[in-house]
A and B are shown apart, each in its own frame.
Chain A
Amino acid sequence: MTTTLKSEEERALGYLPLTESTFAILASLGNPLHGYGIMVKVAEVTGGEIRLGPGTLYGALTKLLKEGLLEKAGEENGGERKKLYLLTPLGRRVVALESERLERLSRWGRELLSREG
C-alpha cells in the first residue's frame, strides 16, 4: 500500500515543472468544462494574460487525458455533443505540487526584494 502511494507521489512529481498553458488548463478544471469553456475560463481568471489557442489546447488535452491527469466527464448536450473534461486525483496532486513549487520560488524572490528595500 505504501509503495503504491509513494509511486503515485513520484509520478505526480515527474510532471513538474508544468508549462504555463498546462497549469492553466489543469487549474481551470475543478469543475467539468468543455474545450471552449477552458479557453474562456483561463482568459477570465488571468485577465487575458494567458491565452490558449485551439491547437495548443487540443494537443494538451489529448496528452493530459493519455497521462491520466484529466478524464472525460461525459458529454454536454447541446446542438452537438461536446466532451467534458475533469481533473483526476493525480491531476489535482500535480496542481498542488506545482503550486507549492511556485510559492517557494516567489517567496524567495520576495525575500530578496524586501532585504533590498
Chain B
Amino acid sequence: MEEKRVWKFFFAWNDWKEEEWLGRMAAEGWHLLRVSPFLYRFRKGEPADLVFRLDYRSGFQRDREEYLSLFREAGWEHRGEMGGWQYFSTPRGDGKRTPEIYTDNPSRAAKYMRLLFLFFLLLLLQINSFRHFFLSRRTFSNPGDQALFTGMKICVGFFLIVMLYALIRVGLLVVQLRKGGGVPFDRS
C-alpha cells in the first residue's frame, strides 16, 4: 500500500482550512492514518466523501471515554490527537446538511475560548523571560555572552509577537461568533 507523509502546520484561527484540506485529501483517496506534531501520515485507497472536524480539548482524564463515545455514537470517528486537537471524520451523507460537531455559535465560541486561555497561559509563563531580556539593563564583558543574549532576546521577542498575534486573531473569532455571524467559515 502506498503511503505518504506530509509536513504541515496550521494556525488555530484557521483550523477550518485544515478540516477542508483533510476532506480534499480523502476525496483524492488519501486516508489519514496518523496525526503527529507537524506531520500527517496518509495511505492511498478509494476516494471517500468525508467531512473532517477538529475539536480542541485537553486536560480530561476520566471523562475522555465519555467524550469519545458521544462522538462515536453520533457517527464521528476519532482519527487522531495532537496537542489537544481532536481530529474527527464522518461520511458527508445525503448532502442536505453538512454534519457538524458544533451546532451553535456559543459552543463554537467556547472552543476558541479554550484556545485563548491556553495562549494566555503560555504568554503568562513567558513574563519572567520577557522581563529578563527586555526590561533589565545588562552589560557583558565577553562578546560571546553578548551575542548569546541578543540571540535569546530575538527568540523571546519572536515568541511574544506570535503569541500576541494568535491571541488577537482567536479573540476576534470569539467576538465574531458571539455576535452571531461574520465568521470566515459558513456553518449554520
> In the complex, A60 Cα to B67 Cα: how many Å?
12
CB distance from B72 to the nearest CB of A (A): 9
Q: B69 contacts A53, CB within 8 Å?
A: no
Interface check B106, CB cutoff 8 A? yes
Q: Which residue of A lies closest to B75 (CB)?
A: A54
A55 interface neighbour in B66, B69, B111, Cβ under 8 Å:
B111
**Chain B residues with CB under 8 A of A47:** none
Interface check B2, CB cutoff 8 A? no
Q: B66 contacts A56, CB within 8 Å?
A: no
A55 and B73 contact, Cβ closer than 8 Å, known pairs A19-B106, A21-B107, A35-B66: no
Q: B106 contacts A58, CB within 8 Å?
A: no
A21 interface neighbour in B53, B63, B65, B103, Cβ under 8 Å:
B103
Interface check A101, CB cutoff 8 A? no
Q: B103 contacts A35, CB within 8 Å?
A: no
Q: B110 contacts A36, CB within 8 Å?
A: no
**Chain A residues with CB under 8 A of B101:** 53-56
Main secondary structure of the interface of A (DSSP, over half): helix
Q: A59 contacts B110, CB within 8 Å?
A: yes
Inter-chain contact total with CB atoms closer than 8 Å:
59
A35 and B69 contact, Cβ closer than 8 Å, known pairs A19-B106, A21-B107: yes
CB distance from A21 to the nearest CB of B (A): 5
Interface centre among A19, A36, A53, by most chain B C-beta atoms within 10 angstroms, is: A53
Question: Which parts of B63-108 form the interface with A (CB within 8 Å)?
Answer: 63, 65-67, 69-71, 73-74, 76, 97, 99-104, 106-107
Q: A53 contacts B67, CB within 8 Å?
A: no
CB distance from B138 to the nearest CB of A (A): 47
Interface check B55, CB cutoff 8 A? yes
> In the complex, A8 Cα to B153 Cα: how many Å?
54
Q: Which residue of B lies closest to A35 (CB)?
A: B70
Question: Which parts of A27-49 form the interface with B (CB within 8 Å)?
Answer: 35-36, 39
**Chain B residues with CB under 8 A of A59:** 107, 110-111
Question: Which parts of B41-74 form the interface with A (CB within 8 Å)?
Answer: 53, 55, 63, 65-67, 69-71, 73-74
Residues of A at under 8 Å CB distance from B? 19-21, 35-36, 39, 51-60, 62, 80, 82-83
13 residue pairs A–B, Cβ–Cβ below 8 Å: A35-B73, A36-B74, A51-B97, A51-B103, A53-B99, A53-B102, A54-B71, A55-B102, A56-B107, A59-B110, A60-B107, A82-B69, A83-B66
Residues of B at under 8 Å CB distance from A? 53, 55, 63, 65-67, 69-71, 73-74, 76, 97, 99-104, 106-107, 110-111
